[in-house]
Structure 1
Amino acid sequence: MKRNKNRDKVIAALSLEPLVNEQFKSIRTSISFASIDRHVQTLLITSSESGSGKSTISANLSIAYAQQGKKTLLIDCDLRKPTVHRAFYVNGFVGLSSVLMDQLDVIEACQKTKIENLSVLASGAVPPNPSDLLGSKKMKLILEHLKQEFDMIIIDTPPITLFSDSMLLAPRTDGVILVTRYGRSKKAEIKLALEKIALTQVPVTGTILNGVVKKRINSNYDNYHNVRKEEKDG
């Protein structure tokens, strides 16, 4: 059976693997510090190119907020290449596109996951006109309604350099997080992504460098413990 890499990375957080769990708690804390003077309830996650792992980041960050006790919703607004439903084993055909087409109530479309406090609004069936749907007044009303039901909303969107979807949604959120990938993201693409985000006049809450070699992370983490041990011994 072919392994789903996206699902495996989410499972790492579900199993509370210490290093992964601490990394996303750290990101959650950094977001709080970055937005200390304003209320952040909705975060849009996008990337500078495809293959950056922004959907995995969206899923794990949602878990981190749910673990904090916040009633959290992860919305799969990548109506072109949805993946969130596979990560959490929910029905991918029941979701946002159905709500936007008035086929389903938005609260009924939100599916609970095995993670306490975490629900998912899957993409639903892939529509022929994603940008039109996401930029509609109906989408604005949906987000306003969901803000009344959830403490934290994470929105996974397509790469901002490739499609207009993220730019249409960003003004309806409190901040944008740009995901880049070590060894893959190019400076020109990152610059273009930041320029497009700037056009939305929504603050960049932060950027996340994904795909750093695990061996390097573990080495730094081990060094941290070594330093702490030396301090205690001293």
Structure 2
Amino acid sequence: MFKKKKKDSRTAARKLVTKDAPKSIALEQFRMIRENINFLRPDKKLKTLLFTSSSSGEGKSTLAANVAIVFAQAGKRVLLVDADMRKPTTQYTFRTTTSPGLSHLLNRQRGLDEVIKRTQTKGLDLITCGRIPVNPAELLGLKAMDDLLNEMKSRYDIIIIDAPPVLLVADAQILSNKCDGTILIVSSGKTEKNNAKRAKGLLETSKANVLGVILNNYKLEKGHYYYNYNAAKD
């Protein structure tokens, strides 16, 4: 069921500006993202939010982690789930272990309480990837994933799921159909316009509720980066 994990050199923790830079412009932008999400559907609570991108290297995992932190800072009970079972990163971001994690839950090898990891941010819990499986898409499509999401929703106010890029594998499409909302990350100067459109189209084909787009790595001024939230458009 599992394949041997390749050695990964990404051992340095990623920058969590929402935790480490309390006076930064970026922190204010993440707070704006949080409030925009809160106001998107006032008639319906958005409890499960999927973060994805068109391709790799666009910053979705770091963004998902920072958004999770600002929701926790607002007093919410938040769970961040690393569902990128092909290239997981949260173990580096939060300096923790990979296993046990999501793959163990979906294979019915562990229970939810056994895989939840606490973080230094009050109110924020974490589920890492677990051992990397041979068949991530098949695992994510199981009824076990639906059951798991329901159990998570009974415990937390917000569940943020970090999914693989849309154009590379089917995982994000499978998961987006199970979540209340999906947010697409694009990187300034890197994401090609056609790729962003293709990614949005694939998500909509999967009947995902695409809430909008976050523009990452737009340089506002020297030393600061601007994170901008926009409603998804053609």
- TM-score bucket (shorter structure): 0.7 to 0.9
Within-5 A mapping of 1:173-184: 173-184=179-190
Query: 1:33 — aligned with what?
Result: 39
Report the equivalent of 2:69. Answer: 63
Identity %, equivalent residues: 37
Mapping of 1:125-204 within 5 angstroms?
125-204=131-210
- Using the TM superposition, give the Cα deviation of residue 128 of structure 1 relative to its aligned residue in structure 2, in angstroms: 0.5
> How far, CA to CA, are the matches of 2:118 and 2:197 in structure 1?
37
Match of 2:102 in 1: 96
Q: Which has the larger radius of gyration?
A: 1
Shift of 1:172: 1.2
Residues 100 and 114 in structure 2, CA contact (< 8 A), matched pair in contact too = no
Deviations 1:182-217 (A, max 9, x none): 000001101100101111222211110111125268
Separation in 2 of the partners of 1:219 and 1:164? 30
CA contact (8 A) 1:35 1:205 kept: no
CA RMSD of aligned residues (A): 1.8
Partner of residue 230, structure 1: none
TM norm structure 2: 0.88
Relative distance call for 1:203 and 1:125 in structure 2 (3 A) is same
- Tell me the secondary structure at the aligned position of residue 114 of structure 1: coil
Residues 107-126 of structure 1: pairs in structure 2 closer than 5 A: 107-126=113-132
Match of 1:50 in 2: 56
Higher strand share: 2
Aligned pair partner of 1:15 in 5, 14, 20: 20
Contact 1:90 1:113 in 2 (8 A): no
Do residues 211 (structure 1) and 222 (structure 2) align? no
* Aligned partners of 2:219 and 2:225 also within 8 Å: no
TM-score between both structures, scaled by the size of structure 1: 0.88
What is the match of residue 229 of structure 2? Answer: none
Provide the secondary structure at the position in 1 that maps to 2:15.
helix
The alignment partner of 1:115 has SS state of coil
How many residues of Structure 1 are paired with residues of Structure 2 in the alignment? 217
Which is worse superposed, 176-185 or 27-36?
27-36
- Cα deviation 1:35-65 (Å, max 9, x = unaligned): 2232100100000111000000010000011
How far did 1:107 drift?
2.2
Q: Deviations over 1:3-27 (max 9, x none)?
A: 866x3422x2212432222111010
